[in-house]
Amino acid sequence: MLFGILLYLGILALSGFGVLWGIGSILMGFDRYEEEHAIRTTPLSELDSIAAGPTAVRGRIEPAGRHIGTLYDCEACVAYELTIEDAGSDSSRTHVNKSEAVPFDIVTDEGSVRVCNAEFDFHVSEDRRWNEKRKSHTSPDDKLARFERDWQIPDLRAGDDRRYEMAYIEPGDTVYAYGTAELDNSLSGEQSKPLVLTGRDGLFFLSDQDPDELLRERRFVLAKNGLLGIAVAVISLAVFLWLTGIAQIFLGA
Q: Is 153 among the domain residues? A: yes
Instruction: Look at residues 78, 86, 75 and name the one whose alpha carbon lies nearest to residue 118.
Output: 78
Q: Is 46 among the domain residues? A: no
Q: Is 63 among the domain residues? A: yes
Selection from 37-46, 142-151, 178-187, 217-226 with the highest mean pLDDT: 142-151
| Cβ neighbours around 233 below 10 Å, total | 19
What mean pLDDT do residues 155-172 have?
90
Selection from 19-23, 138-142, 225-229, 231-235 with the highest mean pLDDT: 138-142
pTM greater than 0.75: no
Four-CA torsion 99, 105, 108, 112, nearest 10 degrees: 130
CA angle, corner 195, sides to 37 and 67, nearest 5? 95
Contact 119, 204 (CB under 8 A): yes
Length of the chain, please?
A: 253
Buried b (16+ CB within 10 A) or exposed e, 172-181: ebebbbbbbb
Q: Is 58 among the domain residues? A: yes
Q: How many domains does the chain have?
A: 2
| Cα distance between residue 39 and residue 216, in whole Å | 11
Q: In what order do the strands lie in the sheet with 79-87?
A: 92-101, 79-87, 161-169, 129-135
Listed in sequence order, the residues at least 6 apart from 241 whose beta carbon sits closer than 8 Å to its beta carbon are: 247
Give the per-residue pLDDT at 221.
Answer: 59
Same domain, 57 and 132: yes
| Cα distance between residue 15 and residue 119, in whole Å | 32
Running DSSP on this structure, what letter comes out for residue 46?
P
Same domain, 128 and 176: yes
Domain span at residue 16 reads 1-41+221-253
Q: How confident is the model at residue 157 (pLDDT cuts 50, 70, 90)?
A: confident
Listed in sequence order, the residues at least 6 apart from 187 whose beta carbon sits closer than 8 Å to its beta carbon are: 114, 194, 196
